[in-house]
Amino acid sequence: MPPFIELRKVTKTYPTLQQETLLALQDISFEVGQGEFVSVVGASGCGKTTLLKIVAGLIPYEGEVRIGGEPVKGPRQDIGFVFQQPVLLPWRTVLENVLLPIEVMGLERSHYEKRARDILQTVGLAEFVDKYPFELSGGMQQRVSITRALVYEPDVLLMDEPFGALDAMTREALNLELLRIWRESQKTVLFVTHSISEAIFLSDRVVALTPRPGKIADTLTVNLPRPRRLETIQTQEFGRLAKHIRSLLGIGEEAGGIE
């Protein structure tokens, strides 16, 4: 698999109000192959969002990030970003929210409107096309936000804990939906989560980050057969991987805080 997203010694320091600096990420190097699904997992505050925003070209960084061989110097229109919150515009209907990137990018609306409706149908929002965000549940809003990132057919999907705020049942359903969309579209996905089992369940590879400053603890390959099913979680291999990541992140067997 040729590398599509490449990170070399990426470091990020934030200035703080106390005239100090906060080292959020240190020497992060890894690659994501074309069409690969890679997850980044780590505790809250370890720099996951920071990492995704660097790849998306939204914040400055030290080191080297390349997408398709080109250095990342700013936002690119071949990236779809799903934020930690849905960030929908409350005065726009579901369909208008989904078509926002099309308007901004000046693409042909009629073509993409059909595509938008199709994706909304597959994520189970066909009846909510003309509703406003305040009429939707949190899970539905997040599905709108995912549709908005898919509609303009970006090659890369960057997802920041898109299901973090959802209950376990909705989360499982959306995980399966996401895998189906990924299989059909063959996008390159970089997925951020603090849930170890979600990371394993979805990914080809998992990058585990240490707590502040975020450094790579290990990168492991998930050799579970696809398509994945919910039963996959019960397999021995799944348990072994989860245990390994937990030990990497320095979390005891019984300790809570992270799944």
Partner 1 sequence: MKGMAKGPDRWWGGLLKAEWLYSLGLFVILMGAWELLVRYLEVPFYLVPAPSGVLVALKEGFSEGLTSRVGFYLHTYYTLGEALAGFVIGSGSGIILGTLIAQSRFLGKVFVPYLVAFQSLPKVALAPLLVVWFGVGMTSKIVIVAMLTFFPLLVNSIAGFESVDRDVLEMMRSLRATRWQMFVKVRFPSALPFIFAGLSMAIVYSLIGAIVGEFIGGRYGLGIMITQMSSTMDMEGIFSVFVVLSLIGIALYLIMRSIERRVVFWTSRSRDVIGL
Q: Is 72 helix (H, G, I), strand (E, B) or coil?
A: coil
Q: Which does 139 bind (CB under 5 to 8 A by kind): Mg ion, ligand ATP, partner 1, none?
A: none
CB-nearer residue toward partner 1: 133 or 238: 133
Distance CA 205, CA 224 (A): 10
Under the binding rule (CB under 8 A), the answer on residue 244 touching partner 1 is no
Under the binding rule (CB under 8 A), the answer on residue 30 touching partner 1 is no
Under the binding rule (CB under 6 A), the answer on residue 199 touching ligand ATP is no
Ramachandran quadrant class, 161 (left: phi over 0; alpha: psi -120 to 50; beta: rest): left
Under the binding rule (CB under 5 A), the answer on residue 39 touching Mg ion is no
Which listed residue (26, 39, 49, 210) binds Mg ion by CB under 5 A?
A: 49
In angstroms, what CA-CA distances link 5 with 8, 64, 241?
10, 11, 24
Secondary-structure breakdown of the chain: helix, strand, coil percentages, each rounded to the nearest 5: 35, 25, 40
Q: How many residues bind ligand ATP (CB under 6 A)?
A: 14
Q: How many residues bind Mg ion (CB under 5 A)?
A: 1
Distance CA 143, CA 86 (A): 8
Name which of 151, 152, 249, 155 is nearest 199 in CA terms.
Answer: 249
CB-nearer residue toward Mg ion: 41 or 241: 41
Interacting residues toward ligand ATP by CB under 6 A:
14, 22, 24, 42, 44-50, 84, 194, 212
Judged by the rule CB under 5 A, the positions of this chain that interact with Mg ion are 49
Contact residues: partner 1, CB under 8 A: 56, 58, 74-77, 79, 81, 83, 85, 87, 89-91, 93, 100-101, 103-105, 130-135
